[in-house]
Structure 1
Amino acid sequence: MSTSYTDFVGDVQHRIEAGRQAEAVRTTRAVLETLGERVQKGEATDIASPLPMEIDRYLLAADHGQSYDYDEFVHRVLERMNYDDLALDADYGAPSPVDEGEAVYRIKAVTELLSEHLPGSEIDDVEAQLPDDFDDMFEFIDAETKPWDEA
């Protein structure tokens, strides 16, 4: 299933209930860059292939094949979402801070959206490549109702 950058980011924005598109972009980038680091290069390429080119680069440019647990994965995503190295003088200001619970929710939401865009059982291949402590990341995939559908 092919999708546009705007549609993908819009889906993330809806799922995480972000007020601004920039928040959805920040979340997408943080999760996919970190996932790209954790999986092997071939798997990152497989995940990236059905995604818009503006998004697939987050997976492809990563330093692939790093080995760390799910807690470290969450920590890295959280760190990327809470960057403060920008000097934003814009009217909309700096990004809102994200806590660990919100980061975990966003990881699950982006992972579930990925599963909708990956062909066949590709998301199962991703899950199989990760240790069991990453199982929480895939929680929304098989859920009958998704949190964003209930709102």
Structure 2
Amino acid sequence: MRYDEFLAKVRERGEYGSQQEAAQVTAAVLGVLSSRITPGEAASLAAQLPKQLHECIDSDPDRATATFGVEEFCRRVADQVGARPGTAQWDASAVLSTLAEAVSGGELNHLFT
């Protein structure tokens, strides 16, 4: 999936007013997601996404992998975009559903198990 296509889908699903807002939300969600998976999984994820999204994903091999649930995930996204956790849940849904279309089924299994 191309970058502009990815953002257009996020924008539509999240009902954002601009492509820039969709890009900001996408960066926040992918950043939080990448902190929750191993650096190797993050690198594999980045490899399946448009080049412009690679900088959103932390695949530093020296970083620690964080362990947290959905509530903390949404709180972290909310902190990054300046929103409430309920809004961040909406944001995460828009990005993650688009991500599910953009990556292979095997990669998706690694992310959500």
TM-score by length of 2: 0.88
> Which residue number corresponds to residue 124 of structure 1?
109
Identity among equivalent pairs (%): 30
> Which residue number corresponds to residue 81 of structure 1?
81
Distance across 2 between alignment mates of 1:123 and 1:54: 20
| Structure 1: gaps of 5 or more residues | 83-97, 129-151
* Contact preservation (8 Å) 2:43, 2:59: no
| Structure 2: gaps of 5 or more residues | none
Larger radius of gyration: 1
Question: How many residues matched?
Answer: 111
Poorly superposed stretches of 4+, deviation over 3 Å: 60-64
SS at match of 2:57: helix
- Greater fraction of residues in helix: 2
> Which residue number corresponds to residue 43 of structure 1?
41
- Pairs within 5 Å for 1:56-67: 56-60=54-58, 63-67=63-67
**CA RMSD after TM alignment:** 1.6
TM-score by length of 1: 0.67
Q: Which is bigger in relative contact order (C-alpha 8 A, separation at least 6)?
A: 2
